[in-house]
A and B are shown apart, each in its own frame.
Chain A
Amino acid sequence: MRWTLLGLATIGALVSSVVLGPAAVPLGDLFRSDIVWNLRAPRALLAFLVGGSLGVAGASLQALVRNPLADPFLLGLSGGAGLGAVVAIALHIPGPWALPIAAFVGALAALGLVYRMGLIGGAGGALDPRILLLGGVAVGAFAAAITTAIVSLADAAELRNAFLWLWGGLSAASWDSVLLVALYAPIPLIVLFAASRPLDLLALGEEPAGYLGADVAAVKRRVYLAASLLTAAAVAVSGVIGFVGLVVPHIARLAWGHHHRALLPAAFLGGGALLAIADTVARTVVAPRELPVGVVTALIGVPVFTLLLRRWTVA
């Protein structure tokens, strides 16, 4: 029942985001229209892949650091990506892919730094989740400070737009970016899905998980790196889209419980469906203008979350 509903929601989200849009395309021309084929379809697919990736990354990180507030971007990645993007603009690095690549590199740098900090705290190559959280916030703040310094010192008027890009959303979707994500994302996704069982055990606490046969240190490293690499790719193609990675895992947990074997696929489909629907709303509701998609994910996600929370806690 739950899976049927989720499946229907996913299909509905994908179909509506291809059929609906600010430009009027007659249903009969749907498959011949350049707008549908080259703009809407890749954008719908990219929204689905990015939303799904953020959902899974959020669910895994929440389990890893055992903190319900964990969010894929919390661990310094958005700060690093923003710094990368601003540096690319300030140095006038040419090329249509300069910004995404620079953001990806920035996110990777932040990831490496936080990972290194996390290893300092834990004994014997184990990551300390508390240090991951603190280190993530600290690295993010540090990167944001450098970003602000560059923006206020450099003479380029377009730097302001780096922030727009960072909060941009999915307008850069093309078959190129879909292909890129479709080739890249499955690797960290498989690593995370494969870690379902150890993640379940981790919820009991690190020591009990160890007694029950999980290689805790290795699982934590794998999950942290895979979730962060997934998020870094999402930032590179669509900027920082908030909320999906925070609330979708909680919604999925309310409906599917704490077993990651079901939770992670549900978070993937749910995150993908939410972002595809949110982007369709963002494109159409104030047409010809467009809303930032992060606004819509929050406007849809919070009420759904509140409703579910009420239903499940009352029941």
Chain B
Amino acid sequence: MRRLLFAVLILAACRPDGRTAGRQAQRIVSLLPSFTELLFAIGAGDRVVGRTTWCDYPPAALSIPSVGDGMPPNIEAVAARKPDLVVLYNSGPNVTAAQQLERIGIRTVLLALNRLEDLGPAARTLGRLTGLEKRADSLAMAMDSLLHQPPPTSSTSTSLAFVVWDNPPIIIGRGSYLDQLAALAGARNVFADVTAPSAQVSLETIAARNPEWIAVLSDSAAPPSFARRREWRAVRAVREERFLLLPGSLFGRPGPRSGQAVRELRALLERNGVGAQHAAPLHDRSRR
């Protein structure tokens, strides 16, 4: 008897889901740049009716109305776009926002998107929700193949450290997407032993680990301002101005362009000479 009741309860719980899953989303609000890129890549770009201020790719996304920075989402601005699906990044504040949206009858989906391996499942879920399974599947396959591609066959491995903040110094560890990008591009993150996605470290640890490159997410062509601080000059790569300045839109987020990000990072490393001391630095020293 109890089992029967349980089965009925499960059925009852499943039914609304079963019904809505069949309905294809027509008006989508995307609350993460990566989701916007994925939606465009699977051919659902024309159904995106709302985006965040950070969603800057593809260029067509810029003509979609923005609903704010999405941190946390502005519920009323999202609802005003009359979406039938809101895609949110799975985090604490967003769970609350999703509950509020559901309460006013807007379907939501919370997706994890922290690392490369999250891309395939995210693409497939978005494909299912939009009825564009085929293109989503082939995108997901391409994304998954990134993970299984053999590492580049360079004889010497370049080392780098991702510095996301200078005071206190915060670096990227093994748990993060950027670490994956570096590995696929054939570079060794000198902080791969730090399991967290990012961590505060001492400047002297960076100096002692002596990475060949300091990688910084930056849209500007000028070296980061900490390059001119005296204490940072104890780090050889800073002294020699060996900075990899990676535009945030391409490198800062996992998405359909992750493969391109790997290729560009690899090209950057090769162009600037793995181990070749006389290669032109990325930045003109006279700028200093």
Contact A172 B229 (CB under 8 A): yes
Contact B234 A288 (CB under 8 A): no
Say whether B53 faces chain A, with CB atoms less than 8 Å apart.
yes
Contact A22 B208 (CB under 8 A): yes
By size class, the interface of chain B is: 20 to 34
Say whether B191 faces chain A, with CB atoms less than 8 Å apart.
yes
Say whether A171 faces chain B, with CB atoms less than 8 Å apart.
yes
A171-B165 contact, Cβ under 8 Å, with A23-B204, A38-B234, A39-B203: no
Chain B residues whose C-beta falls within 8 Å of the C-beta of A35 in the assembled complex:
204, 207-208, 234
Contact B231 A289 (CB under 8 A): no
Q: Which of A18-77 contact B (CB under 8 A)?
A: 21-24, 34-35, 38-40, 42
Contact B230 A288 (CB under 8 A): no
Contact A288 B231 (CB under 8 A): no
Contact A24 B208 (CB under 8 A): yes
Contact A168 B167 (CB under 8 A): yes
B132-140, B194-202, B274-282: which lies at the A interface?
Answer: B194-202
Per-position contact with A for B213-235: 1 when CB-CB < 8 Å, else 0?
00000000000011011110110
Contact B208 A95 (CB under 8 A): no
Say whether B95 faces chain A, with CB atoms less than 8 Å apart.
no
Say whether A175 faces chain B, with CB atoms less than 8 Å apart.
yes
Chain B residues whose C-beta falls within 8 Å of the C-beta of A98 in the assembled complex:
225
Which residue in chain B gives the minimum CB-CB distance to A153?
A: B69
Q: Which of A64-98 contact B (CB under 8 A)?
A: 94-96, 98
- Residue of B207, B225, B231, B233 near A173 (CB, 8 A) is B231
A39-B230 contact, Cβ under 8 Å, with A22-B202, A289-B194: no
Chain A residues whose C-beta falls within 8 Å of the C-beta of B191 in the assembled complex:
288
By size class, the interface of chain A is: 35 or more
Chain B residues whose C-beta falls within 8 Å of the C-beta of A161 in the assembled complex:
165
**Nearest Cβ in chain B — how far from A247, in angstroms?**
23
A24 CA to B210 CA, complexed, in Å = 13
Chain A residues whose C-beta falls within 8 Å of the C-beta of B284 in the assembled complex:
none
Chain B residues whose C-beta falls within 8 Å of the C-beta of A176 in the assembled complex:
230
Contact A292 B168 (CB under 8 A): yes
Contact A164 B168 (CB under 8 A): yes
Residues of A within 8 A of B (CB): 21-24, 34-35, 38-40, 42, 94-96, 98-99, 155, 158, 161, 164-165, 168-169, 171-176, 283, 287-292
The contact sample of 6 A-B pairs, CB cut-off 8 A, is A155-B53, A164-B167, A165-B168, A168-B168, A169-B168, A290-B205
Residues of B within 8 A of A (CB): 53, 69, 165, 167-170, 191, 193-194, 196, 199-205, 207-209, 225-226, 228-231, 233-234
The 6 closest A-B pairs by CB, nearest first: A23-B208, A174-B231, A174-B230, A171-B168, A96-B229, A38-B234
